[in-house]
């Protein structure tokens, strides 16, 4: 992603916070495909993913005034809202599905392409176990205890990996 696109998304969010419908429309045109990809990966259903995109953009419109570029990039903020919209929709639409242990083990080892090249670079700098734990947890919406069970590791170890890894990612992303 280019710096220009990042600044453009930030400007559009700031415009949305002021009530500019044109800013909303342009942000939707720029980011809807990416938001849909996030939702589809989580929900694995195209209709549900489309619903999640709609919910994410409604939330973006309502909460645009909370965006602070000093705290993170627009892309990251949009991605978090998209992820949460998809997870919330998934919880409302489907009963909790028990995943078999073989599938959970696969989730922990699948490669996931980060949405931001800088994030990918920063993840590559982490110890492999920390990076996989973070990507698995956030990509599949697992709690610390679910991740602990999935990786067959003590809960304290998983929490430490996540904490140290996210601290390292924050420093790397800021640098």
**Residue-level pLDDT at 3:** 47
Domain boundary among 93, 118, 137: 93
Q: Which pairs count as long-range contacts for 134-143, CB under 8 Å and 24+ apart, including other chains?
A: 134/161, 134/162, 134/165, 134/166, 134/169, 136/107, 136/108, 136/110, 136/112, 137/162, 138/83, 139/41, 139/42, 139/107, 139/112, 140/42, 140/107, 141/42, 141/83, 141/87
- Say whether both 74 and 131 belong to one domain: no
Together in a domain, 40 and 83: yes
User: Is there a single domain that holds both residue 61 and residue 116?
Assistant: no
- Are residue 16 and residue 66 in the same domain, yes or no? yes
115 with 62, same domain? no
| C-alpha span between 136 and 68 (Å, rounded) | 27
Asked if 12 and 75 sit in the same domain, the reply is yes
Q: How far apart are CA 93 and CA 15, in angstroms?
A: 33
Higher confidence at residue 104 or residue 51?
Answer: 51
Residues 76 and 60 in one domain: yes
Same structural domain, 89 and 105: no
Is 22's pLDDT higher than 80? yes
Q: Residue 45 has which token pair?
A: 């259903």
Same domain, 54 and 129: no
What contacts 51, CB < 8 A, 6 or more positions away? 89
Q: Are 108 and 43 in contact (CB under 8 A)?
A: no
| pLDDT at residue 32, rounded to an integer | 94
- % helix, strand, coil for the chain, step of 5: 80, 0, 20
Average pLDDT of every residue of the chain: 82
> What are the pLDDT digits (tens) for 84-119?
899 888 877 744 445 555 555 454 445 555 556 777
Instruction: For residue 61, give its domain range.
Output: 3-93
Q: Which two tokens stand for residue 139?
A: 């990509």
What's the rounded mean pLDDT across residues 8-14? Answer: 91
Residues 124 and 152 in one domain: yes
Domains contained in the chain, number? 2
């Amino acid at each position: 992603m280019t710096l220009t696109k990042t600044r453009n998304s930030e400007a559009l969010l700031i415009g949305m916070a002021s009530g500019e419908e044109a800013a909303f429309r342009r942000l939707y045109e720029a980011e809807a495909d990416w938001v849909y990809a996030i939702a589809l990966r989580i929900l694995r259903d195209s209709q549900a993913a489309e619903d999640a995109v709609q919910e994410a953009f409604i939330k973006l419109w309502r909460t645009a005034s909370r965006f602070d570029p000093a705290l993170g990039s627009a892309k990251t903020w949009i991605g978090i809202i998209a992820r949460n919209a998809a997870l919330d929709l998934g919880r409302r639409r489907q009963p909790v599905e028990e995943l078999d242990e073989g599938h959970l083990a696969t989730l922990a080892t699948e490669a996931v392409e980060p949405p931001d090249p800088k994030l990918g670079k920063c993840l590559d700098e982490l110890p492999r176990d920390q990076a996989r734990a973070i990507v698995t947890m956030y990509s599949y919406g697992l709690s610390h205890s679910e991740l602990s069970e999935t990786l067959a590791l003590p809960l304290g170890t998983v929490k430490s990996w996540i904490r140290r890894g996210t601290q390292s990612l924050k420093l790397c992303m800021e640098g």
